[in-house]
Structure 1
Amino acid sequence: MSSLTNQNIFTVSRLNAEVRLLLENEMGIVWLIGEISNFSAPVSGHWYLTLKDSRAQVKCAMFRGNNRRVTFKPQNGNQVLVKARLSLYEPRGDYQLIIESMQPEGDGRLQQQFDELKMKLAGEGLFSQSDKKPLPEHPKCVGIITSKTGAALFDILDVLKRRDPSLPVVIYPTMVQGEGAAIQIAQAIGCANSRNECDVLIVGRGGGSLEDLWCFNNEILARTIAASQIPIISAVGHEVDVTIADFVADMRAPTPSAAAELVSRDNSHKEQALIARQHKLASAMRYYLAEQKSHSVSLLHRIERHHPSYQLQRQSQQLDDLESRLNRAMSQFIALRGQKIERQQYKIQLQSPVKQFAEQRTRMQRLEQKLLDAMDRKLLNARHQLAIGAEKLDTVSPLATLKRGYSITQTAQGHVVTQTEQIKTGDTLVTRLSDGEVRSTVI
């Protein structure tokens, strides 16, 4: 005992605060699949629920700002995929998840697999523009890897026939949908490289759902495209459809017809060269923007963990919890009072003559009414005090200060500017207003 110091002894509050910070900083963002149960949506607009599987469960909270983006109405029994950060509700010591996004399990899992593979391949440099092979300026033979019965093949052939009928074409028919399609496409690319009869390949199909196009998000196919010695144009779906094959290919065409225009010559071949460069530039910009978006999301998560609104969210959850406890306590109190009254009435029935019973019953009814009136006043007063507390909390909120016309200025590194000596000419400043932020440069 003599070796203990004040620093070694924790209070319960300090312990819970340390555990919360440990969970939030060490675990970061997690993806979780589970079944919804005990779903509730109080008047505060926040959602509280439990995610469970066959052997375990975890409590979750999804605050109003995040649940507004959910495109479906969660119900008990729904299987969902959520993105959340681990936390701890300090007043009760409950370990919980703070949900940031929620999707039905099927669509969400495919999108998660897409994002994970995209991040993995991007980290390995497979999307790097410096490794892209240039398309031949005047192709001598074009290879087409697609379904032999699909509309994409006929669209490509129609464009080539109209623009450059003399251009030789080799078709490598494959499946472009379903199990085994990705392997067949990869094998066709390998076959075209080994035969070396074409100097450019078009790989693609027509539009469809995420599941229809899923074979073009296959890791083996992506690595095969990247390793191809023959330049490859990805022409999958419509312009709005984006696959992993589009990022890995040497060129991405918005449609199969557009791919055919890229490889064919006509009287406006200079214009086509310009279009090709535009597509290459657009592809590079999409990759750059995707990288910047990923970096911004990472920074945003780091900022959110220290943002005042996060503290407000925890306090709002505590208010919901206190209101729920107050309602349960009042209901229990009223129920106990009612039981006591029933016991008194029973005693009167056993011990009193008819006249006394009538008088006592009248008296008990008056007492019961006074009790109910007192309870109503007590409940009204409790609600009033709760409203006053919420109003006081709102008056000290940084967001309320921003709404009154004030602003918070930070450096690009996130430090709050309080003195002019903290900044110098050329620095970028971020000014936070009530409805957004303004970026400015010091001149």
Structure 2
Amino acid sequence: MIPSCVLTVTQINLYVKSLLEGDEKLHCVYVTGEISNFTDHYRSGHLYFSLKDEKCAVKAVMFASSARRLRFHPQNGIKVLVRGRISSYEVSGQYQLYVEEMQPVGAGERALAYEQLKEKLRREGLFDAERKKELPRYPTKIGVITSPTGAVIHDIQNVTARRWPLAEILLYPVAVQGEGAAPQLVQALQYFSSRSCADVLIIGRGGGSAEDLWAFNEEAVVRAVAACPLPVISAVGHETDVTLTDFAADLRAPTPSAAAELAVPDGEKLKNALLQTAVSMHMGLENRLNDERMQLDLLSQSLQEALEKPTQLRQQELGVLAGRLEDLNPLRVLRRGYSVVTSIDGQVLMSPEKIHTGEQVQVRMDQGTLLCTVDKKENLHESENDI
């Protein structure tokens, strides 16, 4: 005989679910345990896992709407404290814990999220030294990403004006803490990256609590810093504050003022160095000129000696030739009492045959000239024969 009240599996499961959901004590429970059997459904964003202690375990689920608020990534072996409600999933009849909030036990949620993201990005190589870009030596435009009302921008402006007044400050105003800070920081980095309107960037803010500085630990901000084609100097908080942005930046500065000092050269020191270089160059040039003058003097003396020696030889040779020429000078013969007879037109007469009786001739002597008429000719050969 079949009982009058027969329930289906669905009815049983729904009844049990109504009992669980009807108990107000189960509407909000706090449970601590170790995560196991963790599954992250990346497409839906839901998290499925178990919480266990030394003896028992309970199934748990955290829907995407709640999981998105987590600041760390749950994983097996982490002890957590969760807040949620107890209900059952009627399809399987399995009761489970529906988690709405979760935080690590022992380590703070932010500290764990920081370490997890740091390790993840380190494995990807975002912090590698090989990725770091060198800063420009003489920047003309410095992009600054910070609050427009804080002391950071004023410190950077003052240091830059004192050290390198040639540089222009380009401020991109952003919120540096709170829920909207991270998207604004990313937008500012993308602005400078797409336009390349600056030579170097400074991103940062003044000191504050870990909560205040958290925007600079957001994954989107850190990735935007690492992807920026311009050199980036991180100046977040005080010297003891370290954010993930510091690791991704090309250079970390302990303070915003120090960031400005790293971004620009010291104009006064550069000026003094240039003056010293100019003096050294002038002294070097003077020394070089003196050396060249000495070399020129030595060469001039050598050249003069080289020119004088052949000149003296030529003068001696010329003196010998002059003497020989002087010996051949007919005038010199005339001084010894000899004469030279020429015709009227100046031709030297070497023989009586060149002249006729009655013609006039000129007789050149040392002290003058005689104009004579030939009365008689006598041939030398004839005289010798007569003798």
The reply to whether TM is greater than 0.5 is no
The structure with more helix, counted as a fraction of residues: 1
TM-score norm. by structure 1 comes to: 0.38
TM norm structure 2: 0.44
